[in-house]
């Protein structure tokens, strides 16, 4: 996928759901993975010519694992002219050592989001951007059916009233396969997730299930995505 194609798909989502307004200051959550770095690239590029002027802040919440080298990401942010902030935390110690959580992802996500939103507000941001893509939409909806018994997916735009910050997801129309291609083409400085729970989650199971369903029923992903997008309250719009 080219930069132009990436920016075109991101702009489609941004325009369709009015994600960006004049004067917005947007915090981009950088996990170190391919999705968040692709999102950073997309927004940094759009910032140059989008009709509504906005600013960016890149933020990484470091969980406390050893060997989490962010030097490559810091260099990329300098090249893209985006200020980069790393929040050092002890989330790993709390989740795995102190609490010894049997389901570590839930508590970890809650603590990460809290630290991220606090820093975003401190930096003067009124919006935050997450890198959820088209496959995430499909997988989240399927997970809700399998594990919760209802049809639900996150919204493209969500106002977090307790934090007074608006969450946007500009990569909604971008396929994960295209993100992988973009990562390879641009040689993005991806940092491997050091978490021991990575790759052993319910989402990974559903991701493999979606692959199987698409293989056996060509067009499944397209139909599922449109069902989520067009279904009643699917996006909470």
Longest CA pairwise span in the chain (Å): 49
Decide: helix, strand or coil at residue 27: strand
pLDDT for 159 beyond 70? yes
Residue 236: what pLDDT?
47
Average the pLDDT over 18-41 and give the result: 96
pLDDT for 18 beyond 80? yes
Say what the pTM is. 0.90
> Please, what is the average pLDDT of the chain?
89
Comparing C-alpha atoms, which of 157, 31, 147, 49 is closest to residue 91?
A: 31
Percent of the chain residues past pLDDT 70, beyond the cut? 91
Residue 234: what pLDDT?
45
| 216 CB-near residues (< 8 Å, 6+ apart) | none
Contact 133, 175 (CB under 8 A): yes
pLDDT for 59 beyond 90? yes
Q: Report how far apart, in Å, the C-alpha atoms of 231 and of each of 6, 137, 139, 150 are.
A: 26, 13, 15, 12
Percent of the chain residues past pLDDT 90, beyond the cut? 66
pLDDT for 41 beyond 50? yes
Q: Which of 33-42, 84-93, 179-188, 213-222 has the lowest mean pLDDT?
A: 84-93
CATH for 3-133+154-192 is: 3.40.50.620
pLDDT tens-digit readout, 172-218: 999 999 999 999 999 999 988 776 666 557 888 999 999 999 999 99
Residue keyed to tokens 């969450």: 167
Average the pLDDT over 100-114 and give the result: 75
């Amino acid at each position: 996928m080219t930069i132009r194609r990436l920016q075109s798909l991101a702009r489609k989502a941004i325009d369709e759901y009015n994600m960006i307004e004049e004067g917005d200051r947007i915090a981009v959550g950088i996990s170190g993975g391919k999705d968040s770095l692709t999102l950073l690239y997309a927004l940094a590029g759009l910032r140059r010519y989008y009709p509504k002027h906005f600013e960016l802040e890149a933020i990484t919440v470091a969980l406390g694992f050893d060997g989490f080298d962010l030097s490559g990401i810091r260099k990329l942010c300098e090249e893209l002219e985006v200020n980069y902030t790393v929040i050092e935390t002890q989330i790993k110690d709390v989740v795995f050592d102190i609490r010894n959580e049997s389901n570590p992802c839930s508590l970890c996500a809650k603590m990460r989001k809290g630290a991220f939103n606090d820093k975003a507000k401190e930096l003067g941001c009124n919006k935050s951007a997450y890198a959820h893509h088209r496959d995430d939409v499909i997988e989240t909806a399927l997970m809700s059916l399998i594990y919760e018994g209802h049809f639900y997916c996150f919204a493209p735009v969500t106002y977090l009233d307790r934090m007074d910050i608006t969450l946007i997801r500009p990569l909604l129309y971008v396929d994960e396969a295209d993100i992988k291609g973009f990562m390879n083409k641009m040689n993005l400085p991806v940092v491997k997730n050091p978490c021991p729970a990575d790759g052993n989650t319910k989402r990974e199971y559903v991701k493999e299930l979606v692959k199987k369903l698409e293989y056996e029923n060509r067009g499944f992903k397209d139909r599922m995505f449109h069902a989520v997008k067009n279904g009643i309250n699917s996006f909470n719009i």
